[in-house]
Structure 1
């Protein structure tokens, strides 16, 4: 299934494997460089095994953001996050994973990038 290319003004057909860009714009979008430099999601350890583990964490955490729950709020979790990032030798162990809402995940990721 195709969707319109994400590049402004392009009438090409975006492809899922090109992150929504057409073949002409996939390189200029920057997504190509991300996969080239970092590997695709399977190569980075986020394939089908990760999806199963992610589901287990969401069930464990009742599909709620752990950080919001600590503040007494019930906010749906949208992301499973590594408490210690994989880039800093964090593991995929359940004890190193937490369910987070978008707001907390973005905040945590931004803080980690500044380190």
Structure 2
């Protein structure tokens, strides 16, 4: 997929997003809330980014209804977790890491 030629602001990531992003990071205690971390319940990773649980594209296409920036659709996530979540949403298979014992390692 090619990079968007639209500006950050045109894609919905202007000053209002910056405020909302900070609110979500604070709400989630700056801990990753991806399914593998669950806010420190499974593993504690620092959150640097905010993820749309239902991607913004779903709202544009009509697959999802409502406001994509509703706080209930947002979660704080670690950068690496965000990359993995986005790749899976785009249809890529997650990489499997093999541990020293020869078995897959759940990350």
TM-score, reference length from structure 2: 0.68
Instruction: Give the unaligned 5+ runs of structure 1.
Output: 1-29
Name the counterpart of 2:72: 95
Which structure has the larger Rg over C-alpha atoms? 1
Which stretches of structure 1, 4 residues or more, deviate above 4 A after TM superposition? none
TM-score, reference length from structure 1: 0.64
Cα offset, 1:71, TM superposition? 4.1
Instruction: Give the unaligned 5+ runs of structure 2.
Output: 93-107
How many corresponding residue pairs? 81
Q: Partners in 2 of 1:43 and 1:92 — Cα distance?
A: 15
- CA displacement, residues 31-50 of structure 1 (integer Å, 9 cap, x when unaligned): 6xx32xxx101001000000
Higher helix share: 1
Q: Partners in 2 of 1:56 and 1:112 — Cα distance?
A: 24
SS at match of 1:66: coil
